[in-house]
Chain A
Amino acid sequence: MRSDPPTQPTDPARPPLSRTARRRNQVVAVTALVAVWVLLWGTLSWANIIGGLVVAAVLLAVFPLPPVTFAGRVRPLPLLRFWLHFLRDLVVASAQVAWLAVRVGPTPRSAIIAARLRVNTDLNLTLTAEALSLLPGSLILEADRRTGTLYIHVLGVTSRDEVERFRRGVLELEARIIEAIGSPEELRRVRETPADREGVPA
């Protein structure tokens, strides 16, 4: 996917999903929809589960989901590591932004940073962007699906050094996501190109 010549304004080839992959996507979607339905009612009963299944079937028939390629598998331990790291970042960054808001001093400076992800899949792009967006101090302005690049507005940056450090941080976040849910091939690509040498757009 990365071998696409960057001058061609076409989306990277997303291969059509196999039958089993589509079936798996449907199972995941139905499970999630039934879970939301049961949570809305608040009690776990057969009536709620059957009602949820009916609603999920109707929803999926009326609004079919776009295909999502999920080539990897969920690894519980790296997933836990990702969540712990995310929670720590959340607390630290929230405190930093709150401090920027109430401190007396010069107006905070910011930067718009491009970070080119190593694994250009829709799922990885979306998850990395979501995680970054949820952390205070970083805001996704634009995502280039063709090259897999995120353009991020970062609050409280004062120097080029900090820009580079933030870019490395994005790639480390991507690596944690891939460790948790990526395929072996994606994992290899992330490990081959460490965060300190990639990510700078051409």
Chain B
Amino acid sequence: MSLDVAVDVAASICLIAGALLSLAAGIALVRFPDLLTRMHAAAKPQVLGLLLVLVGCALRLRTGVDITTLVLVGAFSLATAPVAAHMVGRAAYPHEDIRTDLLVTDELAAHLDRVAEEREHSAAA
């Protein structure tokens, strides 16, 4: 088996694994109960799934210009995905779309109550 074939096999494994992770994310998007749990599915396959697809592409393309672009794609999605997920999650949080009956504990509610109380205090003073 030549080196080319070995690299192609590795590339195909990476591409298929990345695609399967994205498929699982798509299924999760349909099956999960509320917005926050769906955000897990929507934001996260970017990480491992996308990295695997990028590695697969890099192994297949094997030219400097393409690989540097792929590195940038990976770095910027890693840097921006958490911010996007946080913004959507925070915007949705105190809202009836969240299935509170499925939460084991909610330690943010107490914190937000405290912040609101402090605001009232400082407004009264």
Q: Which residue numbers of A lie inside 8 Å of B, CB to CB?
A: 7, 9, 36, 38-43, 90-91, 94, 97-98, 100-102, 107-114, 129-130, 133-137, 139-142, 144, 149, 151, 153, 155, 157-160, 162-163, 201
Contact = CB atoms under 8 A, between A and B. Distances in A.
A111 B103 contact: yes
A155 B28 CA distance: 12
Q: Counting chain B CB atoms within 10 Å of each CB, which of A7, A110, A140 scores highest?
A: A110
B47 A136 contact: yes
Contacts of A149: 111
Contact of A110 (B31, B36, B47): B36
Interface of A: prevailing SS: mixed
Given A101-B31, A101-B41, A111 B68 contact: no
B13 interface: no
Given A40-B68, A43-B64, A100-B28, 9 more contacts: A9-B115, A94-B47, A108-B33, A111-B105, A137-B40, A139-B40, A141-B36, A159-B104, A201-B107
B59 interface: no
Contacts of B11: none
Contact of A39 (B21, B37, B71): B71
Given A39-B69, A139-B36, A160-B104, A134 B41 contact: no
Nearest to B105: A111
B37 A155 contact: yes
Interface residues of B, number: 49
B60 interface: no
A9 B122 contact: yes
B89 A90 contact: no
B107 A142 contact: no
A30 to B, nearest CB: 17
B108 A97 contact: no
B32 to A, nearest CB: 7
Nearest to B20: A98
A158 B24 contact: no
B89 A140 contact: yes
Nearest to A101: B28
Given A40-B69, A94-B48, A133-B85, A142 B41 contact: no
Contact of A102 (B24, B47, B64, B79): B24
B6 interface: no
B19 interface: no
Contact of B106 (A39, A112, A135, A139): A112
Contacts of A135: 44, 47
A107 B33 contact: yes
